[in-house]
Amino acid sequence: MTDPLSQWRPEFPILDTCTYLVSHSLGAMPARTERHLATFAREWGTRGVRAWHEGWWEVGRVTGDLLAPTIGAAPGTISMHQNATVAQSIITSCFSFDGPRRRIVVQDLDFPSNHYLFHGFERYGAAVVTVASDDRVRGRIDRVVDAIDERTAFVNLSLVLFRSAHLQDVRPVIDRAHRVGARVVLDLYQAAGAVPVDVTALGIDFAVGGSVKWLCGGPGAGYLYVRPDLMRDLKPAVVGWAGHAQPFQFEPGPIAYADGLERFQSGTPNVPSLYSARGGYEVVAEIGVPAIREKSLRLTRRLMDAASARGWRLNTPDDDHERGASVVIDVPDGAAVTQTLIARNVIVDYRPGAGIRIAPHFYNTEDEIDHAVEILAELVGDK
Ligand SMILES: Cc1ncc(COP(=O)(O)O)c(C=O)c1O
């Protein structure tokens, strides 16, 4: 069977050197990223301070617009930040937690950074309500829905859970939250670039994520989507001069917020990281997430079939409609086995309480999946 996406392999130099199956952690770098970073260096080197007014100051908005089609966002709705946690803290700081609506609903399977941040807001009156899962594989969306009421400020929800790749049905949560006047922050980190997402069709209030994984954008490019009709009424407490309506007037005193997404900007934009993120955004947009998803399901199914045939335990939902883009295989001594796989040039990772996480992306091949399975079988002794 011919695979049209295999033509992208030369764009990712690391694929020549190893079996790279770790895109849930760090997506491979596109060759063009080196050129984008060289452009940044050239602009700094030759234009100096003038570069701010020749594109650098607007780089956040331009980069957000480049990402927008991949997650179904309208232009002008995505601001860029250092990482997902910073984006999350900016949106959390828009809530005051001083009235009856002070609850933040989370799941025990969220990425822990979310929990750390929300518990931090307890000193300002927030109350964190944690919804338990049964098995650390599947989130209990029904329990999340039940936990939402008029006391809920917002719900934090991962579209794809980082530990198990469970792709959650977020619609009932959004519907329930909106019925009682609560908001929803969707954590897209393990979904964007691998799983189709349409924030506009979902009617989601906010979304956060970063570019390190499936977007192949590298570190330093977290993003915050805000539904356009909500933007003007939000007043983040975590803010800085770049969020001012007229930043170059340097006015003292309380901020006069910018009208658009710049109100969520804190200080100086992270220019080199945003240049770095461009390459991955361009490639993902050019291929399109539906084609990426189709291939991802084919490769993860192949991997899961091979694992099941050998009796390995899978900590990932089996149904294609409930699975993100990685597969978690739980074998004895998983941490040590992972180290040996890496030493044998099969790059994967391990999460305690979950297992070995293996993540093919659009640039991987069926042969690479078979190779990883072969080595793993050798290591766990059931070839
Ligand atoms: C689902 C999810 N949310 C949030 C984060 C944290 O992102 P950041 O390091 O950009 O704050 C991660 C990181 O792996 C993640 O997988």
Statement to judge: residues 135 and 281 lie in one domain? yes
Distances (CA, A) of 324 to 103, 179, 252: 28, 28, 47
**How high is the mean pLDDT of the chain?**
97
Say which CATH number the domain at 370 has. 3.90.1150.10
> Which residue type occupies 77?
T
Residue at a domain's end among 285, 318, 342: 285
Instruction: Indicate whether residue 82 lines ligand 1 (CB < 6 A).
Output: no
Q: What is the DSSP string of 285-342?
A: HHH-HHHHHHHHHHHHHHHHHHHHHTT-EE-S-SSGGGB-S-EEEE-TTHHHHHHHHH
Q: Are residues 205 and 352 in the same domain?
A: no
210 lines ligand 1 (CB under 6 A): yes
Q: Does residue 153 lie within any of the structural domains? A: yes
374 occurs within a structural domain? yes
Ligand 1 contact via 158 beta carbon (within 6 Å): yes
Domain boundary among 285, 306, 340: 285
Ligand 1 centroid–CA 156 distance in Å is 13
Question: Looking at residue 382, what is its pLDDT?
Answer: 62
Let me know whether 59 and 85 are in one domain: yes
Same domain, 43 and 173: yes
Instruction: Grade residue 2 by pLDDT with cuts at 50, 70 and 90.
Output: confident
What is the enclosing helix (H) or strand (E) of 118?
helix 112-120
Q: Do residue 123 and residue 139 come from a single domain?
A: yes
Q: Is residue 1 assigned to a domain?
A: no
CB-based contacts of 95, cutoff 8 Å, min separation 6: 126, 153, 154
Regarding the beta carbon of 223 and ligand 1, being less than 6 Å apart is answered: no
Q: Is the CB of 20 under 6 A from ligand 1?
A: no
For ligand 1, the distance from its centroid to the CA atom of residue 54, given in whole angstroms, is 32
Q: Which of 80, 90, 110, 162 to mutate to test the pocket of ligand 1 (most atoms within 8 A of CB)?
A: 162
* Closest of 129, 92, 85, 131 to residue 111, by C-alpha: 85
Residue 68, pLDDT score: 98
pLDDT of 47-64, one tens digit each? 999 999 999 999 999 999
Same structural domain, 191 and 223: yes
Residue 220 lies in a domain: yes
Calculate what percentage of the chain has a pLDDT beyond 90: 97
Last residue within a domain, chosen from 285, 314, 349:
285
- Among candidate residues 7, 3, 51, 11, the one with its CA nearest the CA of residue 272: 51
Query: Does residue 1 register a pLDDT over 70?
Result: no
> In terms of domains, do 343 and 374 share one?
yes
Whether residue 211 lies inside any domain: the answer is yes
Q: In the prediction, which pLDDT does 282 show?
A: 98
Residue 5 falls inside a structural domain: no
Residue 10, domain member (yes or no): no
Q: Say if residue 241 is in the same domain as residue 120.
A: yes
Confidence at 383, pLDDT banded by 50, 70, 90: very low
Q: Is the pLDDT assigned to residue 116 strictly greater than 50? A: yes
pLDDT at residue 381 in the model = 77
Q: Check residue 305 and give its pLDDT.
A: 98
Looking at the structure, tell me whether residues 253 and 324 fall in a common domain. no
**pLDDT value of position 329:** 97
Q: Please check whether residues 178 and 242 belong to one and the same domain.
A: yes
Domain membership of residue 13 (yes or no) is no
Q: How far is the CA of 51 from the centre of ligand 1 (A)?
A: 31
In the structure encoding, which two tokens stand for residue 72, read together? 């179904």
For the CA of 86, the closest atom of ligand 1 is: 11
- Local structure of residue 244 (DSSP, 8 states): B
Query: Among residues of the chain, what percentage have pLDDT more than 70?
Result: 99
User: Which tens digit of pLDDT belongs to each residue from 192-238?
Assistant: 999 999 999 999 999 999 999 999 999 999 999 999 999 999 999 99
C-alpha count within 13 angstroms, C-beta hemisphere, residue 10: 2
* Segment 27-34 mean pLDDT: 98
Segment 161-165 shows an average pLDDT of 94
Question: pLDDT digit string (tens) for 337-381?
Answer: 999 999 999 999 999 989 999 999 999 999 999 999 999 999 997
Taking only the tens place, the pLDDT of each residue in 173-203 is 999 999 999 999 999 999 999 999 999 999 9
Q: 234 CA to middle of ligand 1, Å? A: 24
CA distance 202 to 174: 8
Using CA positions, which residue lies closest to atom 7 of ligand 1? Answer: 84
Helix (H) or strand (E) holding 283: helix 271-287
pTM above 0.85, yes or no: yes
Is there a single domain that holds both residue 247 and residue 364? no
- Is residue 25 in contact with ligand 1, taking CB distance under 6 Å? no
Sheet hosting strand 313-314, strand order edge to edge: 313-314, 327-330, 355-358, 349-351
Amino acid at 102: R
HSE-up (13 A, CA, CB side) for residue 318: 6
CA of 299 to the centre of ligand 1 (A): 24
**pLDDT of 55:** 97
Output Rg (C-alpha) for the chain, integer angstroms.
21
pLDDT higher than 80, residue 27: yes
Residue with CA nearest ligand 1 atom 6: 84
CATH code of the domain in which 81 resides? 3.40.640.10
Domain range enclosing 78 = 33-285
Count of domains for the chain = 2
Does ligand 1 have an atom closer than 6 angstroms to the CB of 379? no
- 131 with 169, same domain: the answer is yes
